[in-house]
Every structure is written in structure tokens, then in C-alpha cells.
């Protein structure tokens, strides 16, 4: 079995799907890429059993067949080549692979491609199409807020709620929450599922260079994303997502409006002086002045800064974890941001003052930290 392929386009496709590979796999076959040759087309798959990514590339060949190729060895070899045609000769009985380049020959041993796990097929699936930019934006704005607690697996993914009016993405780790809604994307029927972090990270990295539509098919157990010449299928997280709407305070009479970048930079500087366990920053709001301060009593470190702001409400002091606040401000793209609060022991809500896109609605919630007065 023989085929000829461009070294750079092969490397590009392999790098796009190589994020699926784990460093320690239960099944040794998963340390390989599956190559499926069908005349002038090469289909490449990578899998960790939970998530499988496949991509298709054009080649020159008259043969058909499959082979599992050691992923790490192949990637490291391809990275060293300038763009040139490579000839792969495969011994289908002994699974020997010989690569011939302009420089010389390289031999490696592959595995039986039939041992590679089969990609699950999606039965009785519902489907919708989303603009790649919309999906990328939804993942970018929510993924950072998902949890890492293995005891609460539902919170380690992103909830996707589909309806005839809009699509909503929600992520929370019980300390912070993001709800991202798009009214320019709709589904034919109401449905919801929880997508794990890993496939979302893979999509996030791949969608950067994609324009056009992403087709999403889903049933109770799997979701299937297809775009351009790439497919990703992942197992969904089983379980019931917490009722996040109940956590969002409805009445927030104290409203602060401040320049997002100044506020973010102020928090980043001041938080250097905060306690390394709590990362607590104190916001003191009076009139049109916002004071941001932090202290670490163990080392007698402290810092404070003042910002001008617009504020409607009672004078207030509230504490937040600076890491959460900085992460949220960093993931918004607006000029000014609103911070809405009801009381020092209730969650604060961050909203962009101006919208980049009228169809986009984003709400971020952060739980306060008790202040030691």
C-alpha cells in the first residue's frame, strides 16, 4: 500500500487533531493516528475513547486500506521537514511503514488499523447549524468559568440549552458563573446537554481558522461537530445541571459603571499585595469614587488605588476573589462594564455596558468573599 502526500499539509492536519491524544493511555493503540486510505483520500483519526477527531486530506494513491501510525514519532519527524512530497510505503502484513523524503528514508512500525476503536455513530440525532464565529465566541466566553471538581462532573462542562428563540451556554464552578445567550442562533426543538471541557478546548483551538457553518448533531449520549474537512465526536456528561437561574439575584439596586481596562489593570496590580490563599480585593464605593485595595496581614503588604466611576446606590464595601474578577473582566470585550450588587454578602453581576453585537447577551456572576473588617 502506497501514497504520496505533502509534508506541510499532513503536519497541519495532524496538529489540528493531535490535542485529542493523551500522554498516558489505557489502550496502547490510542498512542497512534489511524490512517484510512481510500484512493486519493486519506482520513486521519485520533481518539481517547471519550473524544474522537477526524480530518480528511487529499493524497496521490491507487490503494485502499488502513494502518495505525505512532503519533509522537510521526509528528516529530514531520516538524523537521521543509515542504516536500513524502512517499509512504506500508507493508500491510507486518505493519511496517517506510517514509521516503528528499533527504532519505525512515522506517517505523505501525499497528493493525482494525484494532483502533470504531467511531460511535450517532443514532436518532437532532441537528442544527451554527456560525463558526458564534460557536467560538460562546466557548471563549464561558469555558474559563467551568469547574474542575471531579466529584461534581456536571459542573466541569458547559451547558448548552437550545430553544426556538435562542441558544444559551452556561458554565459555573459555584464561585463564578457565566451565561452567554445568542438570539441569532436557534434550534428546531428545545433540548439541553453538557459538553465536557476537553472537546470544547479542541474546538476553540480549531475554530480560530474556520469560517462558515459548523453542523452540530446530538443525542442523549454524544455530540458530533462537523466543519470544513474536520469532524469531532464527544461523549456528553451525564447528569442534571444545577438550576443556575435561581442563583442570579434579580434585584440589584447598587449599580457601578467603570472603564473596564482601568478596572482590570487596577485589580491586577493591587492583587499582587493580596493574601495568597484568598486573593481578596476590597472594593469601596462612595459617590463617584471607587477604591480598590488589598492587604496581606502575614507579610504586612498592602496596596490601594482609586478610580473614577459612575455609581447609583448606597455607599458600599464588598470583597471579591481578584483572580475571578480579573478573569471575567479579561473575557469581556467592551469599553465600560457595569457591576450590579445588592448587598456585601450577595453575588455581584458583571455586564458589558455596550454590546459588540445586538444578538449577544452576556451575564457574569461572581460570589463575594467575606471581608475581615
Q: Are 194 and 214 in a shared domain? A: yes
* 3-state class (DSSP) for residue 352: strand
Instruction: Work out the widest C-alpha separation in the chain, in whole angstroms.
Output: 80
Q: Are 305 and 212 in a shared domain? A: no
Q: For 100-117, how does the pLDDT look when each residue is reduced to its tens digit (9 = 90+)?
A: 999 999 999 999 999 999
Q: Examine the fold and report which residue of 115, 138, 170 is the final residue of a domain before the chain moves on.
A: 115
pLDDT at 373: 58
pLDDT at 26: 86
Q: For 248-299, how does the pLDDT look when each residue is reduced to its tens digit (9 = 90+)?
A: 999 999 999 999 999 999 999 999 999 999 999 999 999 999 999 999 999 9
Distance CA 31, CA 116 (A): 10
Question: Could you say which DSSP state residue 297 is in?
Answer: T
pLDDT at 158: 98
Q: For 24-59, how does the pLDDT look when each residue is reduced to its tens digit (9 = 90+)?
A: 988 999 999 999 999 899 999 999 999 999 999 999
Question: Does residue 170 belong to any structural domain of this protein?
Answer: yes
pLDDT at 150: 86
Q: Tell me how many domains the chain contains.
A: 3
pLDDT at 98: 97
The answer to whether the beta carbons of residues 252 and 365 sit under 8 Å apart is no
Question: Does residue 9 belong to any structural domain of this protein?
Answer: yes
pLDDT at 303: 97
Q: Which domain holds residue 284?
A: 248-369
Residue ranges for the chain with pLDDT beneath 70: 373
Q: Examine the fold and report which residue of 77, 95, 115 is the final residue of a domain before the chain moves on.
A: 115
Distance CA 43, CA 64 (A): 11
Q: Are 162 and 179 in a shared domain? A: yes
Amino acid at each position: 500500500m502506497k501514497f504520496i502526500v505533502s509534508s506541510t499539509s499532513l503536519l497541519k492536519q495532524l496538529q489540528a487533531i493531535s490535542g485529542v491524544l493523551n500522554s498516558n493511555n489505557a489502550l496502547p493503540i490510542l498512542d497512534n493516528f489511524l490512517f484510512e486510505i481510500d484512493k486519493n483520500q486519506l482520513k486521519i483519526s485520533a481518539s481517547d475513547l471519550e473524544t474522537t477527531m477526524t480530518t480528511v486530506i487529499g493524497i496521490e494513491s491507487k490503494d485502499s486500506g488502513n494502518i495505525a501510525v505512532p503519533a509522537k514519532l510521526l509528528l516529530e519527524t514531520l516538524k523537521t521537514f521543509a515542504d516536500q512530497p513524502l512517499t509512504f510505503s506500508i507493508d500491510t502484513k507486518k505493519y511496517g511503514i517506510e517514509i521516503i523524503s528528499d533527504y532519505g528514508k525512515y522506517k517505523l512500525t505501525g499497528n493493525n488499523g482494525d484494532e483502533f476503536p470504531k467511531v460511535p455513530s450517532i443514532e436518532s440525532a437532532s441537528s442544527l447549524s451554527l456560525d463558526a464565529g458564534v460557536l467560538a465566541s460562546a466557548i471563549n466566553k464561558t469555558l474559563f468559568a467551568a469547574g474542575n471538581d471531579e466529584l461534581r462532573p456536571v459542573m466541569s462542562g458547559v451547558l448548552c440549552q437550545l430553544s426556538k428563540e435562542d441558544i444559551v451556554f452556561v458554565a459555573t464552578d459555584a464561585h463564578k458563573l457565566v451565561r452567554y445567550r445568542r438570539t441569532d442562533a436557534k434550534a428546531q426543538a428545545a433540548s439541553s446537554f453538557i459538553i465536557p471541557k476537553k472537546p470544547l478546548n479542541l474546538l476553540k483551538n480549531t475554530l480560530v481558522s474556520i469560517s462558515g457553518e459548523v453542523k452540530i448533531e446530538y443525542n442523549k449520549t454524544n455530540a458530533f461537530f462537523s466543519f470544513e474537512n474536520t469532524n469531532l465526536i464527544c461523549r456528553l456528561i451525564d447528569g442534571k445541571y444545577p438550576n443556575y437561574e435561581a442563583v442570579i439575584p434579580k434585584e440589584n439596586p447598587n449599580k457601578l459603571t467603570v472603564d473596564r481596562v482601568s478596572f482590570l489593570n487596577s485589580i491586577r496590580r493591587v492583587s499582587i499585595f493580596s493574601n495568597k490563599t484568598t486573593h481578596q480585593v476590597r472594593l469601596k464605593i462612595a459617590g463617584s469614587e471607587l477604591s480598590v485595595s488589598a492587604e496581606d496581614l502575614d507579610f504586612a503588604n498592602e496596596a490601594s488605588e482609586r478610580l473614577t466611576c459612575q455609581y447609583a446606590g448606597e455607599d458600599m464595601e464588598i470583597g471579591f476573589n481578584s483572580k475571578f474578577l480579573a478573569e471575567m473582566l479579561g473575557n469581556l470585550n467592551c469599553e465600560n462594564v457595569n457591576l450590579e450588587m445588592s448587598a456585601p454578602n450577595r453575588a455581584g453581576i458583571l455586564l458589558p455596558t455596550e454590546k459588540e453585537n445586538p444578538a449577544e447577551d452576556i451575564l457574569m456572576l461572581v460570589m463575594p468573599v467575606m471581608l475581615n473588617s
